């Protein structure tokens, strides 16, 4: 299929092409969670070519803030700034999707109330100096489910076209699904099906908010990481059962978070079958599957669209904000970051220093 074919999502919302901007942390918001001018410029530079921009993650409550310079969607007073963000994306001709999340045990203590991180269970992440979180009470869990719905309401009031629930990359939704971080014995934990109860409740809460507050088709996507390296950890077998359930939730897409689009299992070296194909074969007839991961060239994207209807580009749009427009006109796209183009690509500080300092995260022109 062609990159530039339009695509109608299950909600009725239409994307003008098959490419979305992937959500990426940018550290550009103000300390109080309000949208900054630098952030507006950063997104406006990348909007226009893509069918939709998925923003960096926005925390749904104060306990869920996981990054310095993170955008917030946890209070009504943030709506005016969020409205400017949606408008800056719309002005260029792309749809705007707000990624909403809670960082759980991955939040730095200095960013959360009383420096107390929370999670499904009191189990620390397997990383250096990781704090042990406090196990959430049943009341806190139920309030967080409500908070996701309220975040969706604010996104609607701010003029966004949709939300993406961030259930990937080790944050709270994933922490409830993971047997590593969820050791609960109540309704929110237990076997693989019971560990889905929190994410499914969050999806339900968001759907209710959309049914109540949205007048136009409103996109609801879900992003997941298909495996964890930890023992015990999420296996592909777990994820197949999870996507079966997600495919019945009336979502607009399932976004599979991978470093390499065609990578195989990270838990089983003998399994060389691409994870994205496994998931698409399992649920692609019920819900659109979106792929991502190191699709730098136009040819890479064309090949990936043989397996999935939608792809998101992250690092590629950092390197070349005009990737989609160039692909359409046949002009060569940049596939390595040129340090001399910092101003042209509009990556302000502190984001520039942070992304350039992560070894091997972004290809750099010598």
Q: What angle do CA 327, 331, 257 make, to 5 degrees?
A: 35
Whether 210 and 218 have beta carbons less than 8 Å apart is answered as yes
Q: Which two tokens stand for residue 136?
A: 């959430």
- Of 105, 138, 139, 101, nearest in space to 122 by CA: 105
Q: Is 171 a catalytic residue?
A: yes
DSSP for 130-197, written as a single string:
PPPPEEPPHHHHHHHHHHHHHHHHHHHHTT-SEEEEEE-TTSHHHHHH-TTT----STTSSSTTGGGH
CA-based torsion, 17, 19, 23, 27: positive or negative:
negative
d(CA 95, CA 252): 14
CA-based torsion, 10, 168, 313, 52: positive or negative:
positive
Classified as helix, coil or strand, 72 is strand
- Of 352, 327, 349, nearest in space to 339 by CA: 352
Burial of residue 138 (number of CB atoms within 10 Å: 0-12, 13-18, 19+): exposed
Please pick, among 42, 43, 171, 222, the residue that the annotation labels catalytic.
Answer: 171
| Residues that are catalytic | 171
């Amino acid at each position: 299929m062609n990159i530039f074919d339009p695509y109608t999502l299950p909600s009725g919302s239409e994307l003008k092409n098959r490419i979305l901007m992937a959500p990426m942390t940018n550290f550009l918001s103000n300390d109080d969670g309000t949208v900054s001018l630098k952030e507006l410029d950063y997104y406006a530079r990348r909007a226009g070519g893509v069918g939709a921009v998925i923003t960096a993650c926005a925390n749904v409550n104060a306990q869920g803030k996981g990054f310095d310079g993170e955008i917030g969607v946890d209070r009504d007073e943030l709506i005016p700034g969020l409205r400017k963000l949606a408008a800056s994306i719309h002005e260029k001709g792309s749809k705007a999707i707000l990624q909403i999340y809670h960082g759980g045990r991955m939040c730095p203590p200095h960013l959360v109330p009383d420096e107390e991180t929370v999670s499904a269970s009191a189990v620390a992440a397997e990383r250096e100096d990781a704090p042990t979180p406090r196990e959430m009470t049943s009341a806190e869990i139920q309030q967080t489910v409500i908070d996701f719905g309220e975040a969706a309401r604010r996104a609607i009031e701010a003029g966004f076209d949709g939300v993406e629930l961030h259930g990937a990359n080790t944050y709270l939704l994933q922490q409830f699904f993971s047997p590593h971080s969820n050791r609960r014995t109540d309704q929110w934990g237990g076997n693989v099906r019971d560990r889905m109860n929190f994410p499914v409740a969050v999806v339900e809460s968001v759907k209710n908010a959309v049914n109540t507050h949205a007048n136009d088709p409103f996109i609801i996507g879900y992003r997941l990481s298909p495996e964890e390296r930890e023992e015990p950890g999420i296996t592909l077998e777990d994820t197949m059962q999870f996507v079966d359930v997600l495919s019945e939730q009336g979502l607009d897409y399932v976004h599979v978070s991978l470093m390499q689009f065609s990578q195989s299992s990270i838990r089983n070296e003998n399994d060389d079958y691409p994870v994205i194909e496994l998931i698409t074969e399992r649920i692609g007839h019920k819900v659109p599957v979106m792929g991502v991961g190191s699709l730098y060239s136009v040819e890479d994207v064309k090949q990936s669209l043989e397996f999935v209807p939608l792809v998101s580009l992250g690092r590629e749009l950092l390197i070349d904000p005009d990737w989609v427009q160039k692909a359409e006109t046949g002009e060569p796209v940049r596939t390595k970051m040129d340090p001399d183009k910092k101003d042209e690509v509009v990556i302000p500080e502190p984001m520039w220093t942070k992304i350039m300092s992560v070894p091997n995260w972004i290809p750099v022109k010598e």
